[in-house]
Homo-oligomer: A and B are copies of this chain.
């Protein structure tokens, strides 16, 4: 048995939760903040048999990898601009930090 701690962006948290459920992987979700200005992180605690660790890592990578996305800037960006038409900007979203830790004992009561 291994303990997997996965810290992902909030925006990917629900999709990741659903994928874990689909695959019969029990995960507990903690609301967290921080890590270099990235507010709104979610931490998952997952208990998994050693032979399924790679499967868990694959699911996290497929759903939470860091990627670029075009987003509309928040309106405050426009205050000093001449045009009234904001345009999308490219931002990096997602990303996951994952720890796989040894477990001495695992119990369910």
The chain A residues found within 8 Å of chain B, CB to CB, are 1-3, 5, 7, 17, 21, 26-36, 41, 43, 45, 47, 53, 57, 60-61, 64-66, 95-109
Contact = CB atoms under 8 A, between A and B. Distances in A.
B32 A7 contact: no
A34 B28 contact: yes
B21 A28 contact: no
Contacts of A28: 7, 32-35, 41, 43, 97
B3 A99 contact: yes
27 contacts: A2-B104, A3-B99, A3-B101, A7-B45, A21-B36, A26-B97, A27-B35, A28-B32, A28-B35, A28-B41, A28-B43, A28-B97, A29-B32, A31-B33, A53-B105, A57-B107, A60-B109, A61-B107, A64-B109, A96-B108, A96-B109, A97-B108, A98-B105, A98-B108, A99-B103, A101-B101, A102-B102
